[in-house]
Amino acid sequence: MAIKFKKTILEPDYPVVQTKAGKLRGFVADGVFNFRGVDYAKADRFMLPKPLEPWDGIKDATDYGYICLTINQNSPEGNFRIMHRYWPQSEDCLNLNIWTNCLDPAAKKAVMVWIHGGCYLDGSSIEMVAYDGDELARTGDVVVVTVNHRLNLLGYLDLSDFGEKYRYSGVAGMGDLVAALQWIHDNIAQFGGDPDNVTIFGQSGGSSKVATLMQCPAADGLYHKAITQSGAPNAGPTVSKEDALALGAEIAGSLGLNKNNIDEILQMSYQDILKGAAKTGRTKFEDFMWQLCPSPDGDYYKGLFLDVGFRPEVKNVPMIIGSNMGEFGFRENLASRGLSTDEEKRAALQQFFHEDTDELIRLFRQTYPGKDIALLATTDDSVRLRVEKFARMRAAAADAPVYNYMLSYVFPFEGGTTAWHCAEIPFVFRNTQLELAHMAGGAEEALKLEAAISGAWLAFAKTGDPNGAYIPEWTPYSEACPATMFFDSPACTVDIARDTELEKLLMKKAFSMHRPDSV
């Protein structure tokens, strides 16, 4: 088979784009302009970011920029399902990447801004190979942007009790995202984009950040549509102002700091701050997961919609909200055992579900007709109901449509594998040939599902309506008519949230087992 090489163009003065602060040089690969590691702001530690200082000459934008420092070293586990990149880290991480097939300011193409996952602690704009935006830009005719920003202690340690200087330390990471959106608003036309047609979309922690931006007045007018994949503020980490301040005081105290000497933290190395945190018993990602997230102050970040409601200023923002069949269904994949009869499968399921086994099997068959009941063991029990609640509350509060989805595709490996947390990302970015062809039942099946999912996202980004040639009519979600798009193969279907009762019982079982990912 002949190997197809990308045709790359890179000259000293081409392609060059004039931004407000100065000129940038990227490169062209197969007709797509790439601008990587583009600085969008600068920030002092724990402070909100500031605009860039102008520069002379042409700044190179051909390499990805630094990503934020992380709490723990990354592990290579999980790369079979989703390929990862491991990249140099620095506090100087306020940069973004752009893919576009046109540099004409008059083109006014829809802009899709990706916000990565990893809670508020980890991840990056390039962590997953599937985040690459060249195929989405090339075949979808949009401008794709992915963003790095401050995370964990650097982005969300609330030190505001230590003085006005640190007033916004608990939302610094969200301030970065607002600054990125402001840079996009001011400059994206030079990359062929329309600053008045921007969609923010993200997955898992990125999904929560999308929803949190909607509660930040400083972001108003900088985006016009929103997509939350596999998460929402109520499906992930949240923190009260009191708890955020208590954490800040505890970690500062572990470093020997008080109101008189707090500024010493600005000169400490990141590793020394982590050592201080370790004195409080916090050394791992999981130790911070439920504590380091945006600190609501009623000002920069108004607070969780469950507590304060949706801000009326964003009631006209259309949304897509959804999740995957498998998500965090971490029980054993019984389908890989090769169990042949329903009796064998029922006996195996009983080890997890005990007296509720028969009722769960009944609900599973009703929800996913034709699917192997062994897959019940890995069906999500922690995200779906919270996502559905978010969709229901959003639909009731908004004047714009809300579209709900479920990725119910079963991948044909290990006897059948439910769509896991992150499984939809290659389909969204049109990177299944790169990422999933080896596990998605062959290129034809993967590409058909990719056309449905990515086509819906693209149509939504362009018009606010996800409907198009590759899916049946997708009607908006409401409490009276909770229409849900089930993305599947061989066909996608729209039904009335048929998974709700199944998910309620699965979540009940998860709580009874004291699952840490379910609290």
Q: Which of 234, 233, 270 is nearest to 255 (CA)?
A: 270
Beta strand extents in 277-382 (DSSP E only): 319-324
Whether the Cβ atoms of residue 313 and residue 220 lie closer than 8 Å to each other: yes
- Based on the residue annotation, tell me whether 240 is a catalytic residue of this protein: no
Question: Two tokens at 509?
Answer: 């079982």
The whole-angstrom separation of Cα 217 and Cα 32 is: 34
The whole-angstrom separation of Cα 417 and Cα 427 is: 16
Residues 6+ apart with CB under 8 A from 295: 156, 158, 160, 170, 171, 239, 241, 244, 245, 301
Whether the Cβ atoms of residue 58 and residue 13 lie closer than 8 Å to each other: yes
Question: Two tokens at 354?
Answer: 């005990």
Residue of 125, 204, 208, 295 marked catalytic: 204
DSSP annotation string for 312-331: GGGTT--EEEEEESSBT--S
Count of helices and strands (H, E) across the chain: 15, 17
The whole-angstrom separation of Cα 443 and Cα 98 is: 27
The whole-angstrom separation of Cα 313 and Cα 214 is: 9
Q: Which of 2, 28, 6 is nearest to 15 (CA)?
A: 28
Query: What's phi and psi for 217, nearest 5 deg?
Result: -55, -30
3-state SS assignment for residue 263: helix
The whole-angstrom separation of Cα 69 and Cα 63 is: 18
Q: Which of 62, 57, 52, 64 is nearest to 20 (CA)?
A: 52
Question: Two tokens at 261?
Answer: 């000497």
Q: Which residues are known to be catalytic?
A: 204
